[in-house]
């Protein structure tokens, strides 16, 4: 079964990309995928690449987006980051970032 992002999820990713751009990041790619992994947003600021996982919640009644970034998701993000670095011959610094979107608000936390 192929995953197709929801309209709300796509809008949340675009909201985060716009926010990052306003904060001085350059968007390198969105929805970067291979057959084994995916990254929502790849961005760069200065000499650092940022791999961003976007979590959208229409309501925080069951927790915010950060509540859905557990140990397993972080391992998947680390793996995807390594795959991207190898595919793009990037040997520089990189960071993992989670972005939670709810009610049009964007909040970021650095995971590594």
What pLDDT is stored for residue 68 in this prediction? 67
- 93 occurs within a structural domain: yes
Residue 1 inside a domain? The answer is no
Domain of residue 100 covers 7-110
Residue 27 within any structural domain of the chain: yes
Count of structural domains within the chain = 1
Sorting pLDDT into bands at 50, 70 and 90, what band is 105?
A: confident
Q: Is residue 25 in some structural domain?
A: yes
What's the predicted TM-score (pTM) here?
0.85
Q: Is residue 87 part of a domain?
A: yes
Q: Specify the CATH number for the domain of residue 23.
A: 3.40.1350.10
Are 81 and 94 within 8 A, CB to CB? yes
Q: Tens digit of pLDDT for each residue in 39-96? A: 999 999 999 999 999 987 665 555 565 666 789 999 999 999 999 999 999 999 999 9
Beta strands in 1-112 (DSSP E): 26-33, 38-45, 48-56, 93-102, 105-110
**2 is a domain residue:** no
């Amino acid at each position: 079964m192929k995953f197709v992002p929801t309209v709300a999820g796509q809008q949340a990713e675009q909201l985060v990309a716009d926010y990052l751009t306003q904060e001085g990041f350059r968007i390198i790619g969105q929805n970067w995928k291979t057959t084994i992994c995916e990254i929502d947003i790849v961005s760069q600021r200065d000499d650092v690449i940022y791999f961003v996982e976007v979590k959208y919640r229409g309501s925080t009644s069951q927790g915010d987006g950060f509540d859905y970034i557990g140990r397993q998701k972080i391992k998947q993000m680390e793996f995807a980051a390594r795959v991207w670095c190898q595919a793009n011959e990037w040997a520089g610094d990189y960071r993992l970032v989670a972005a939670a979107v709810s009610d049009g608000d964007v909040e970021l936390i650095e995971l590594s």
